[in-house]
Amino acid sequence: QCTTEEFRPRYHFSPAEHWINDPNGLIYYDGVYHMFYQYHPNDTIWGPMHWGHAISTNLITWEELDIALAPDDLGDIFSGSSVVDTTNTTGFKTDNGNDPIVAIYTSASEEGFLTQVQSLAYSVDKAATFQKYVNNPVLRDENSPDFRDPNVFYYGGKWIMSLAVGNKIEFYGSPDLKTWSKLSEFGADPQQGNHDGVWECPDLIPLIADVNGDGTKLDELWVLLVSINPGGPNKGSATQYFVGNFDGTTFTSFTWSNTQWMDWGPDNYAGVTFSNEPQGRALVVSWMSNWNYANATPTSAWRGQMTIPRTLDLVVVNRTADQYRLVSTPAEELQELRNPLHYLEYNAEINVLPQSIINLTEQAAFSTPLMELEITLNISKNPEPSFAICAHNTIGEEVCFGYSNAEYYLDRSKTTNTALNTHYTGALVSKAVREATEEVISIRMFLDVSSIEVFADGGLTTMTAIHFSSQPLDKIYINNWSKAGSSAILKVKNFKVYGLHC
Ligand code: FRU
């Protein structure tokens, strides 16, 4: 049964009540995906953080469980990760045979961000309940006030932790998750990525790059995700990434001329990947909001939602210095959301003339705010067209993804609630460089009641935004807004849209 609650996402995760931010401790164990998250169980604004807990077997429907971790003498429970300790390095295993699931998180004391130390909690009942480790904290550094968001994985015979420290990342190693020694650091050089804010929520991920594009040379490279706030491409929070090598001690990024962003929209933050993912995918979930206005969004009982799960891969683009790029693809499981009875497809080519709008869903009485759509376009070069694909309603509200002057953009200015605060009002339109240069543009979009997630050029450019309209945006049109008389060409080659189950 679909809810009718205003702004409530129908297929994205949101808590039944109260505040959430970052996804934490994402892990798969024994048939179940666990998502923990920053949670304030008494209010709809940020406050004393707990780890909330939800589980899923299909990455679509999430069941909210009891709070997993609550504040203690060491402070509130900030972001972190979790791992399965299959070889019992911690000695936490009991005779019930379950592998210990160990959460590694930041304890932040009453003074909030002033004192941050790293702590452990473990579960021997498949993440149903957690116990705090008696000798917490396991890592502290009096000299670093911003010392948080431990992300741990096993590599080269030891546990490796990435930790956000001010605006760099420190790496630590441990045999047993309990004693840690510093291995190296990355990012102190102001040339390395963006430093206009605090670095948060790191995740170091191995990925295979098809170097020649034909399978003849497969290199294992490492991608370091680093969320930064503020400093994002459209102000406020965003996630940058670095591609490089990791030798078990040191991460070295390749030469970079530009900061790379995992997502160019305003609302994709603190994304990290699942540990122990059964297919070995780098499966990422992010918080779909922005610290610039997260506390001001107009929802009532709850506040905050997550992106759809996405798979990360590396591709090689033809550039001399910095040739690797991250691509994001909606998790395959999401195909289950498609309602086969609510589907529309055109294969005939449609020429969209300058200064004209074509309704893509009107004729077939296709109408739902829950959509997955795929559109393939052909554009001319010199001159290029300017166009937008918009989800809209009959009272003129709309959210558009468009292209103009070699840039993509996402525009939520024509929604009703645009004055949440000055930051939100200032970030109604966000822009992204188009990395691809082909005359064919393929776009995939996921639309929910209060969000849009766009994957352009096979996920080379992604843009994510939340928005708040008074009526559902349940129709799609394409607008060629190139100047009248322009010789630029815009053709729809193929258009498919699925209504999605709630
Ligand atoms: C990122 C963040 C983390 C911190 C948590 C607190 O959004 O600021 O660095 O652990 O949120 O809720």
CA distance 466 to 143: 37
Mode of pairing for the β-strands spanning 63-69 and 50-56: antiparallel
CA distance 336 to 58: 9
Give the per-residue pLDDT at 444: 98
312 lies in the same domain as 381: no
Per-residue pLDDT tens over the stretch 157-182:
999 999 999 999 999 999 999 999 99
Share of the chain above pLDDT 70, in %: 97
405 lies in the same domain as 317: no
Q: Is the CB of 268 under 6 A from ligand 1?
A: no
52 lies in the same domain as 141: yes
Q: Is residue 135 part of a domain?
A: yes
Q: Is residue 11 part of a domain?
A: no
Residue 422: Cβ-neighbour burial (10 angstroms; 0-12, 13-18, 19+): exposed
CA–centroid distance, residue 81 to ligand 1 (Å): 12
CA–centroid distance, residue 22 to ligand 1 (Å): 7
Task: Find out whether 78 and 124 touch, Cβ atoms under 8 Å.
Answer: no
Write the CATH number for 454. Answer: 2.60.120.560
Write the CATH number for 237. Answer: 2.115.10.20
Q: Is the CB of 464 under 6 A from ligand 1?
A: no
211 lies in the same domain as 123: yes
Least confident of 113-122, 147-156, 316-325, 390-399: 316-325
Q: Is the CB of 498 under 6 A from ligand 1?
A: no
Residue 142: Cβ-neighbour burial (10 angstroms; 0-12, 13-18, 19+): exposed
CA–centroid distance, residue 79 to ligand 1 (Å): 6
- Domain end (from 276, 301, 330): 330
230 lies in the same domain as 368: no
Give the per-residue pLDDT at 366: 86
Give the per-residue pLDDT at 430: 97
Give the per-residue pLDDT at 317: 84
CA–centroid distance, residue 252 to ligand 1 (Å): 25
Q: Is residue 240 part of a domain?
A: yes
22 lies in the same domain as 100: yes
Q: Is the CB of 49 under 6 A from ligand 1?
A: yes
> Residue 424 carries which DSSP code?
H
257 lies in the same domain as 305: yes
Least confident of 14-28, 349-363, 385-399: 349-363
- Domain end (from 308, 330, 352): 330
Q: Give the residue among 211, 186, 496, 129 at the shortest CA–CA distance from 340.
A: 496
CA–centroid distance, residue 160 to ligand 1 (Å): 20
CA distance 183 to 321: 27
Domain enclosing residue 426, as ranges: 338-500
Per-residue pLDDT tens over the stretch 240-284:
999 999 999 999 998 766 799 999 999 999 999 999 999 999 999
Q: Using CA atoms of 230, 233, 239, 245 in order, give the dihedral in degrees to the nearest 10.
A: -120
Per-residue pLDDT tens over the stretch 310-367:
999 999 886 555 689 999 999 999 999 999 889 999 888 999 999 999 999 976 678 9
How sure is the predictor about 63, in pLDDT bands with cuts at 50, 70 and 90?
very high
Give the per-residue pLDDT at 347: 87
261 lies in the same domain as 399: no
Least confident of 139-148, 173-182, 238-247, 287-296: 139-148
CA–centroid distance, residue 124 to ligand 1 (Å): 27
- Sign of the alpha-carbon torsion through 93, 96, 99, 105: negative
Least confident of 10-19, 62-71, 184-193: 184-193
Q: Is the CB of 21 under 6 A from ligand 1?
A: yes
| Ligand 1 atom with minimal separation from the 237 CA | 7
- Between 210 and 493, name the one with better pLDDT: 493
Domain count across the chain = 2
Give the per-residue pLDDT at 113: 58
Q: Is the CB of 76 under 6 A from ligand 1?
A: no
Token duo for residue 307: 């992106």
Q: Is 22 a catalytic residue?
A: yes
Q: Which of 149, 168, 227 to mutate to test the pocket of ligand 1 (most atoms within 8 A of CB)?
A: 149
Average pLDDT, the chain: 95
Residue 155 has pLDDT above 70, yes or no: yes
CA distance 186 to 191: 11
Least confident of 21-25, 254-258, 279-283, 429-433: 254-258
Mean per-residue pLDDT, 288-304: 97
191 lies in the same domain as 249: yes
Mean per-residue pLDDT, 388-403: 97
Q: Is residue 429 part of a domain?
A: yes
62 lies in the same domain as 208: yes
pTM: 0.97
Q: Is residue 219 part of a domain?
A: yes
| Ligand 1 atom with minimal separation from the 78 CA | 10
Per-residue pLDDT tens over the stretch 206-238:
999 888 778 888 989 999 999 999 999 988 999
Mapped onto helix, strand or coil, the DSSP state of residue 35 is: strand
Residue 300 has pLDDT above 70, yes or no: yes
62 lies in the same domain as 38: yes
CA distance 256 to 252: 11
Per-residue pLDDT tens over the stretch 436-491:
999 999 999 999 999 999 999 999 999 999 999 999 999 999 999 999 999 999 99
Q: Is residue 295 part of a domain?
A: yes
CA distance 51 to 67: 6
Give the per-residue pLDDT at 363: 66
Q: Is the CB of 149 under 6 A from ligand 1?
A: yes
306 lies in the same domain as 380: no
Q: Which residue has the CA at smallest separation from atom 8 of ligand 1? A: 200
- Domain end (from 330, 352, 382): 330
Give the per-residue pLDDT at 114: 63
Q: Is residue 2 part of a domain?
A: no
Mean per-residue pLDDT, 287-304: 97
CA distance 252 to 26: 26
Q: Is the CB of 474 under 6 A from ligand 1?
A: no
Mode of pairing for the β-strands spanning 181-186 and 168-174: antiparallel
Q: Is residue 268 part of a domain?
A: yes
Rounded to 5 degrees, φ, ψ at 382 are 45, 75
| Ligand 1 atom with minimal separation from the 269 CA | 7
